[in-house]
Amino acid sequence: SSELTQDPTVSVALGQTVKITCQGDSLRYFYASWYQQKPGQAPVVVLSDKNNRPSGIPDRFSGSSSGSAASLTITGAQAEDEADYYCASRDSSGHYRMFGGGTKLTVL
Amino acid sequence: QVQLLESGGGVVQPGRSLTLSCVASGFTFGSYGMHWVRQAPGKGLEWVAVISYDGDNRYYADSVKGRFTISRDDSRKTLYLHMNSLRAEDTAVYSCAKDPGIVGATHFDYWGQGTLVTVSS
């Protein structure tokens, strides 16, 4: 399969925990990476391969994977976490990259 | 620090051509693969193309294959995207992104701010 599927919208109460999921057959073979994009800004990687957090990303962001699914978890969501989140990975051949359709996170 | 600066966007008629540039600084450009990613207005991210660090390997999304060509000039630390036979659906902000250079990696570790391409008559 050459698709990554995300829920279009997710909401979370301030301070609560939210999980954003990404599904695709290629995730059985390759890790997902995760990007946060705020309006008018370039995407920022919040989780790189193997669920590593780049420098400067708060530790409330974490990741997991199982089978054909990957998840981004925000533990104790903050108002500034309201953004669009995209997963990305490779297709099953490994040569091509792809993004999920994105999840709009609303912090209530 | 790593910087990627795109240029070359603008308004172009359907069927015409346009070339985008991305000037890199803050890292050894010739040691890393580079990507183009685009985002249509109000839509999600779409990967467009990748070129390996040595230019020997290039891969394209099906939506642009045969129309777009990715290239690089390491002496100028510049990545290019040559776009032919442009269509209205190619309208998007085009951003370059750096590959981390790790075998099997799926992430893009640095992004530019992008340049807007509008295809319209």
Question: Is the pLDDT confidence value at B67 over 80?
Answer: yes
Task: Using an 8 Å CB-CB cutoff, list chain A residues near B45.
Answer: 35, 37, 43, 86, 88, 99, 102
Residues whose CB falls within 8 Å of the CB of residue A6, separated by 6 or more in sequence, listed in order: A20, A21, A22, A23, A85, A86, A87, A100, A101, A102, A103
Average pLDDT, chain A: 94
Question: Is the Cα torsion angle A66, A17, A36, B41 positive or negative in sign?
Answer: positive
Best residue of B37, B47, B50, B107 to probe chain A, by most A CBs closer than 10 Å = B107
> Does position B104 have pLDDT exceeding 90, yes or no?
no
Cβ–Cβ below 8 Å for A45 and B108: yes
pLDDT for res B81? 98
Report the residue from A86, A90, A97 with minimal CB separation from B44: A86
Name the pairing type of β-strands B78-83 and B18-25.
Answer: antiparallel
Is 70 exceeded by the pLDDT of residue A1?
no
pLDDT above 80 for A66: yes
Give the residue from A100, A105, A107, A56 showing the smallest Cα distance to A83. Answer: A105
Q: Which residues of A touch B102 (CB under 8 A)?
A: 49
Average pLDDT over residues A64-87: 96
Helices (H), strands (E): how many in chain A? 0, 10
Nearest chain A CA: its distance from B14 CA (Å): 26
Contact between chains at A42 and B61 (C-beta distance less than 8 A): no
- Contact across the interface for B106 and A32, Cβ inside 8 Å: yes
Name chain A contacts of B44, Cβ cutoff 8 Å. Answer: 84, 86, 99-102
Helix (H) or strand (E) holding B20: strand B18-25
Yes or no, beta carbons of B100 and A31 under 8 Å apart: no
- Angle at Cα B5 formed by Cα B45 and Cα A49, nearest 5°? 45
Over the stretch A5-50, which tens digit does the pLDDT of each residue have? 999 999 999 999 999 999 999 999 999 999 999 999 999 999 998 8
- Mean of all residue pLDDT scores within chain B: 96
Strands (E), chain A: 5-6, 9-12, 18-23, 33-37, 44-47, 61-66, 69-74, 83-90, 97-99, 103-107
Among the partner residues A49, A100, A101, nearest to B107 by beta-carbon distance: A49
Average pLDDT, integer, range B9-38: 97
Nearest to B106 among A37, A89, A102 (CB): A89
Using pLDDT thresholds of 50, 70 and 90, give the confidence band for residue A94.
confident
Q: How far, rounded to the nearest angstrom, does the alpha carbon of residue A101 sit from its chain's CA centroid?
A: 11
Q: Given an 8 Å threshold on Cβ–Cβ distance, is B108 in contact with A101?
A: no
